[in-house]
Amino acid sequence: MNKNNIIGVLLLGAIFITWSILLKPSKEEIQEKQRVQDSISAVNQANYLRQDSINKSKITLADESNIVEAQNENSSGSQEILASVDKSKYSVFANSAVGEEKITTIENELFKLQFSNKGARILSAELTRYKTYDSLPLILFDSEANKFGISFFINNYRLNTQDFYFQPFWPDRDHSGEDDVKIKGDESVSFGMRLYTDNGEDSYNPNQYIEFLYTISGNKYMFDYKINIVGLKDVLATNANYLNLEWETNILKQERSIDRWNGPTVFYKYASDEVDYLSETKDDSEVLKSKVKWISFKQRFFSTALIANDAFVNAEISGFTDPDFANDPRYLKSMKSTIGIPYSFSGDQSIQMSFYFGPNKYNILRKYHLGLERQIPLGWSFAPLAWINIYAVIPVFNFLGGFGWNYGIIILVLTILLKLVLFPIAYKTYKSTAKMRVLKPEIDEIGLKFPKKEDAMKKQQATMALYKKAGVNPMAGCVPMLLQMPILFAMFRFFPSSIELRQQSFLWATDLSSYDSIFSWTAQIPILSSVYGNHISLFTLLMTISTIIYTKMNNDMMASGSQQMPGMKTMMYLMPIMFLGMFNGYASGLSYYYFLANIITFGQMYLIRATIDEKKILKQIELNKKKPVKKSNFQKRLEEAAKKRGYSAPKK
């Protein structure tokens, strides 16, 4: 096997092996799991009462301990509504089954949250520093599909906090009565809502309640969330050591293109294990039977995570397509989790958690030391890829970004720096190719000496003997090329997942995190539309053309191109065409990087070729041939073992 064959086989093998690692489905995708049964769905029996809701009592602070008393203003109409409530079902919370929904907005420098007293939940979360691909407000989830509440049992009835009207209050009193609060910098605000038990038909018991308390800072994406359960020891049914927190929402489309390797899904981390996730491409579910540290509803560039201060007891999670929303152009996926939060039923409880509503940016997520950064696909399944991105690419990329340059220029500079670092490898590769090219006439003579197929082994032995005598290692040019493969694939992971490129324009590309279309059409063309798409990405086209040119130049420089393995040359030219269809709908920043890498490689090849004297290399090879060939220790041991078995080394 000549050098061309060796390099071709090794390169293709490296590409397919590495590619298979990158595309290897997760263990969840390998196993076909049964969808989580919707056995604990939300109770909606009291929803019809919202049309006839009445004003409830306003809660005021009675003393420094924040113990509240209700002061109700009920009309004869309200008495009729209360009378219609099934008190055997809603029991001590019957008064809170009816009410008027009140929206409170809290905005800091990074997001705007809307809270509803119906269920004491967050109705919607808007990241104010970002916009969607079509310049709309970036809403992580909307109020219609978002569900969040604790389920519990009273008198054998299963109830959920999201079906009751809570009483809002401001613990610090500074914003009492306000519906719209803005904070910034180091400021913080606490906002709470309480679900009281009844104290008769027209009042509440201030000593028994479920409280949701949110504490938000002016300049942080993460904020505290606390559930306080007070005085309900003899009220809530005690049938387990935890309560179920039900959380469900729809993920909306924020980007123009969809990344199949970085799609919407549910991520989670066990309290004492690594981060894992559900399938990004199909409906999937998982039952987490041991303690869980956090659960995140992750999109391509943003995520909503619920983190336990200690750990959740267990969880059931699922990601699926809801047919009721399938026709909505902005709908991507539905995500659901039922989380077991610890509760002893022995007295008052305080369950502390945190929410993260923000971007999937490595430097932001990494500082929490929770493993949240593992949601960014930097090549975690193949450690060298992640190391390259974490310790080399991201620091340099962020450093260059600090100069305020256009990100197209930053990618150019980053590519030049990488090529400079890899230049010694490129030089060694080319020099090895030059040695093989100088030996080509002698290799051709060996081919003429052993033309028959049955002499293939003799031909191979003679060729290897020539390499050894001349001091040429046929693998010397291949190994350096293989060393570059991790960097090639690290870039494949980095650029599409880099939020810094989101909506950044360069030349004709309006968004370097999406495809750059110079021409598009709406008609669905069989095969073409499904494989290639309905647009032409110019950067992808340039990358493909430059890759084909590079392949030709590389083949021309091979020492024995005429003896290449049948079909190998065709395969080498076919691969860029295959990648054309995949990259056409991918991040234009990635195609732009590969195109730049090819152009710089052309320059390096011409520069190296001008500095290498092949006559000098030939002279050195002739000198090497005159030197005695030293046997390696391994070869000596083999010959000694052969002699003991009665074999003798062949005469030269």
Does one domain contain both 167 and 266?
Answer: yes
| Domain count of the fold of the chain | 2
The answer to whether position 537 is within a domain reads: yes
Q: Is the residue at 57 inside a domain?
A: yes
Nearest to 72 by CA among 98, 41, 46: 98
Strand order of the sheet with strand 111-116?
137-141, 121-131, 111-116, 103-107, 180-182
In-domain check, residue 650: no
Nearest 5°: CA angle at 568, between 550 and 483?
A: 55
Choose the final residue of a domain: 353, 376, 399: 376
pLDDT reported for residue 330: 87
Pairing of strands 302-312, 292-298: antiparallel
Residues 6+ apart with CB under 8 A from 146: 121, 122, 123, 124, 248, 249, 250
**Parent domain of 419:** 3-24+384-626
Torsion over CA: 583, 584, 589, 592 (sign): positive
Asked if the structure places residue 215 within a domain, the reply is yes
Q: Are residues 272 and 398 in the same domain?
A: no
Q: What is the pLDDT of residue 478?
A: 63
- Residue 136 identity (one-letter amino acid): L
Residue 544 belongs to some domain of the structure: yes
Both 336 and 398 in one domain: the answer is no
Q: Does 144 lie in the same domain as 92?
A: yes
Residue 641 belongs to some domain of the structure: no
595-599 long-range contacts (CB < 8 A, ≥24 apart) are: 595/539, 595/542, 595/543, 595/546, 596/411, 596/412, 596/415, 597/415, 597/418, 597/419, 598/543, 598/546, 598/547, 598/549, 598/550, 599/546
pLDDT value of position 565: 53
Judge if 309 and 400 occupy the same domain: no
CA–CA distance, 16 with 56 (Å, rounded to integer) = 66
292 and 334 in one domain?
yes
Annotate 309-346 with DSSP letters as a single string: EEEESEEEEEEE--TTTTT-TTEEEEEEEEEEEE--SS
Instruction: Say whether both 370 and 391 belong to one domain.
Output: no
End residue of a domain, out of 346, 376, 406: 376
Say how far apart CA 599 and CA 488 lie, in whole Å: 15
Which CATH number is 365's domain given?
2.70.98.90
One-letter amino acid at 20 equals S
Statement to judge: residues 367 and 459 lie in one domain = no
Contact 196, 228 (CB under 8 A): no
Q: Of 315, 350, 376, which residue sits at a domain end? A: 376
pLDDT number for residue 48: 27
| pLDDT at residue number 384 | 87
Residue 187: both structure tokens together:
């400021």
pLDDT for the residue 86: 64
Q: Which two tokens stand for residue 423?
A: 């230049």
Q: Both 149 and 211 in a single domain? A: yes
Question: Where does residue 231 rank: exposed (0-12), middle (13-18), buried (19+ CB within 10 A)?
Answer: middle
Nearest to 488 by CA among 543, 528, 438: 543
Domain identity same for 432 and 288: no
Angle at 380 between CA 374 and CA 381, to 5 degrees: 135
Pairing of strands 111-116, 103-107: antiparallel
Residue 541 lies in a domain: yes
Provide block-wise average pLDDT over 10 residues at a time, the chain (652 residues): 47 48 44 34 32 32 36 42 61 88 94 94 94 92 84 84 92 77 92 91 88 95 95 77 90 86 92 91 92 95 95 94 87 93 84 96 95 93 90 93 94 93 81 74 76 74 73 63 80 91 93 90 82 87 90 66 55 80 88 92 84 71 64 56 56 48
Question: Is residue 427 in some structural domain?
Answer: yes
Same domain, residue pair 389 and 370 = no
Instruction: Report how far residue 176's alpha carbon sits from residue 620's, in angstroms, rounded to the nearest whole number.
Output: 88
pLDDT for 318 equals 95
Same domain, 128 and 256: yes
| Contact status, residue 385 vs residue 487, Cβ threshold 8 Å | no
Instruction: Please list, in sequence order, all residues whose beta carbon lies within 8 angstroms of the beta carbon of residue 80, skipping any fewer than 6 positions away.
Output: none
SS3 151: strand
- For residue 85, what pLDDT is reported? 57
Query: Given this model, what pLDDT does residue 475 score?
Result: 64
Q: What is the DSSP string of 73-121?
A: ---HHHHHHHHHS-HHHHGGGGGGGS----EEEEE-SSEEEEEETBTTE
